[in-house]
Each structure stands twice: as structure tokens, then as C-alpha cells.
Structure 1
């Protein structure tokens, strides 16, 4: 495999991933039942370490829109979770500058027994908005999400598309500096996806930094100028988005 192409940012960095490695313990029992039966019988559950990321370094400049590409299990989502602070690296360091809003899992952070309205206030507060700011932007959040008639319904009754609409709408109405998006824009109908894409373009035009993980190669080429390809936990390409997609396909 050819050596990775390195991409230097021309603006001050908003995200720095500095020689980061991340490993997870992988147990070889296939279910809780198997593990429990094995424990009763005195059998040890075998486990080994899985390296999700191996010495990865990335810099993303202020206002850049960058796609992280790779096959399933390559380490893309792990990268976003490290940048968001959900995970800590085993080796290396991760730095971000400014307020980070992450859409890493559909409905993550939503309490199922709370209504959409209550979850808007809860999630917006977690992202650093004051009560006054939320009050001022609440109508815009609901209008963008297009779920107004369901806003006072418990979110456990929401579809995955409704989760995504509301979570995305909250995130883009926060005074954010970095937006992390992991596949959630693949949920929902085509008109809403198009509206989200336009909003993301608007945010990047305002200088918001974006890091996106998606299997939708057409979408990332429309939204991003640069692509980073990760394969088996290693960065193998970093350059123009069209070349990154070609590299991935090859």
C-alpha cells in the first residue's frame, strides 16, 4: 500500500488528533448467556485486545469540512468519539478549540420518558445554552425539525427519523465552533436530508468546522472539500475529497 498522503491545514487548527491509538477489549463469547454458562462451569471467557486506531494524526483547520471515510470497522466512528470527548485515547492526545456539538448516534442523550420539548431543553443545556437562549430559539428548533405536532409526545414513541430531526436541529441552533456528524444524515427523507445539507453549507460558510462520517459518498463530496481515509485503524489517505473517494473505492 502506498504511503499516506498528508494534508496540512492553511488555517489555525480547530481539531488536533496527535498520534492517537485506541484499543478495546474484545471478548470471544457470543452472548451474555454463553458467558454466564461458561462462568457457572468454571470456564474462562477468552478475550483479546482489538486496536481500533493505531497512531493516527489529523489536523482540521478552522472552517474546514472534512469527511472521515472507511469500511465498516475501520475506526471512523471511534475517531469522532475521541474528538467529541466520549472516549479517551490510550496513547496520544486530542485537542479541540471552541464549543463542540456532536451528532454521533441518533437520539443519543435523549431521555425516552421525556417529551420532545423537555429533551430540547435538556440537550441544549448540555451543549451550553442558557435557559434564555433556549427560549429564544425554541420555535426555530421545532420549525427546522418539522415535528411540531409531536413535540409534546414522549420521545420513546419517536421514529429514528424524528430523533435525528430533533437532535440535528438542536445542535445547529447552538453557538458551536465544531460540528461532528456520524451517519445520522442518512436517516430521514430526501427533502429533509437536502435541507440539512444546505444548513451544513451555511455553517461552514460561517467558519464552523465540520467532521463527518458517512458511507454516502455523493453527500460527502457535496459537503466536504477534504477526505481522510482510515483502513484497519490506520490513516492511509488525507487529501482532496474526490481523490479520497477514489482511494476508498480502489
Structure 2
């Protein structure tokens, strides 16, 4: 992932709006090993047998630009490559070809509890994750009470997070991310965990951030939420980008065989 200020003449240009995210001819491959388990692979290695691997192309020549203030849904069924795309944008993964350029501070909610240290308390993890997202200790001190209040887990904030449920992970991770000085928010199915009132509170917060001109990129199977929060949809099928346009039309394209 590269800062967008490093873009060259060959990078797609936007005439009117400033881009927050440029995805330029991106390809991502994974190796699928045919051994059924790590144990089998290890035994094969001990015996000098080659472990066969097959290349799987998760994304193939994907290009798009997301401008400042846009709310965009990346759509596709399981295995389509949409979550891989979000991880590439976040910097969790690196592309095998092409490039991704980012302008602004990015907060990614890619996996529930990712970045949390299981042996640390919720309080300690707030400071750890906020620091990873670029906040100074003084900033975290000022926002700590708001972060905990939004998460609604005050009673458990000093408990080690290895004892948290996935819902508690989600609440705290989401709360930390939205209380940072972010420019871009990436959300991958994070709102699928938790009860209905908290989900609605999260949706309201995302709407509020969008109203402030933040850039949103959302992966979700919740079509109602995508229509509500996003104006634009990018559809990926079997690693190929097949549509980029109005979100309602994108949903129809995704549903086509």
C-alpha cells in the first residue's frame, strides 16, 4: 500500500474529486496446498516428499477509484474476493501485481477482535489499538470514557479480553475505530455481530461519519444496510470486477448467476 501522493502519470486520474483510494490493476494469488493438514505436510517434509500446491487467483486485474466522502459497498458471494480486496486496501495484505494508493488516516474493522492481545484487559487493549490507529496517549485519555460508554461493556473493561465474546470484541473494536481521527473507515461484516439495538447504534454512527465527509468502504451480506449506507456498489465475482455503479443496480448484478 502506498500513499496517494506518490501517484504517477500512469495512475488513473480523477478530474473533479480528490481520491481517497486508488486500486490500480490489482492481482492477488494464494497457494492452496493439497495436504489435508499441517501434520500431513510435516510428515511429508520429513520424508522428503514434495507438498503439492495449486495457485488460486483471489483477485484478477481489479481497478477502481473511491473519492473523498463516498460510501461504497464491495459486494460478492463467499469466495468472490471481496474481503481479500478490503484486506489489501487496509494493508493487511500486499498485492502480487498492481498498486493501491491511500490518502488520509485509515481505520479498518476487518476481523472481529483482530489486533487485540488476549492476555491484556479491555482497558489496555483500548490504548493498544488506538495507538496502532495513530492516536497519542493524550488523545486516548480524553476519549477513553466515550469509547467505553459507546461499547456498553463498562463492567468488563478491566477483564482480560480472552474471556470476551465475539460480540464484546466487536463492540470495543468498533468503538475504538470510530473515536479516532479517521478519514477512511473499512468495515467487513462487523455489524453482523451483536444485538439489534447495538447494530442500529453502529449504523447511526456510520451515517454520522458519512455526513461528516468520511470515506466509507463496507463489505456486508445485509442488502438493506448497503442500500441505506452506500450510494455505490462494486461487484466482484470469482476475483473479477464485474460492475461499478449505483448500489441498487449492483445488488441486482450480484444476484445474477
TM (norm. structure 2) is 0.92
2:16 and 2:178 map into 1 onto residues whose CA distance is 25
User: Which segments of structure 1 move beyond 3 Å, counting only runs of 4 or more?
Assistant: none
Once the two structures are TM-superposed, the CA of residue 11 in structure 1 deviates from its matched residue by: 2.4
1:203 and 1:94 map into 2 onto residues whose CA distance is 23
Which residue number corresponds to residue 132 of structure 2? 126
Matched, 1:87 2:93: yes
Once the two structures are TM-superposed, the CA of residue 96 in structure 1 deviates from its matched residue by: 0.7
Once the two structures are TM-superposed, the CA of residue 9 in structure 1 deviates from its matched residue by: 8.8
Which residue number corresponds to residue 4 of structure 1? none
2:219 and 2:131 map into 1 onto residues whose CA distance is 25
Which residue number corresponds to residue 150 of structure 1? 156
Which residue number corresponds to residue 8 of structure 2? none
Gaps of 5+ in 1: 1-7
2:48 and 2:132 map into 1 onto residues whose CA distance is 44
Matched, 1:51 2:57: yes
Q: Is the 8 A contact 1:10 1:61 kept in 2?
A: no
Which residue number corresponds to residue 224 of structure 2? 218
Which residue number corresponds to residue 101 of structure 1? 107
Change (3 A) 1:245 1:118: same
Matched, 1:61 2:67: yes
Q: Is the 8 A contact 1:106 1:167 kept in 2?
A: yes
CA-atom RMSD in angstroms: 1.2
Which of 132, 141, 150 is the matching residue for 1:135?
A: 141
Q: Deviations over 1:90-125 (max 9, x none)?
A: 111100100000000000000000000000001001
Matched, 1:23 2:55: no
Change (3 A) 1:10 1:197: farther
1:47 and 1:208 map into 2 onto residues whose CA distance is 42
SS at 2:180 equivalent: coil
Matched, 1:115 2:121: yes
1:64 and 1:40 map into 2 onto residues whose CA distance is 53
Which of 239, 243, 247 is the matching residue for 1:237?
A: 243
TM (norm. structure 1) is 0.95
Q: Is the 8 A contact 1:182 1:212 kept in 2?
A: yes
Which of 162, 178, 186 is the matching residue for 1:172?
A: 178
Gaps of 5+ in 2: 1-13
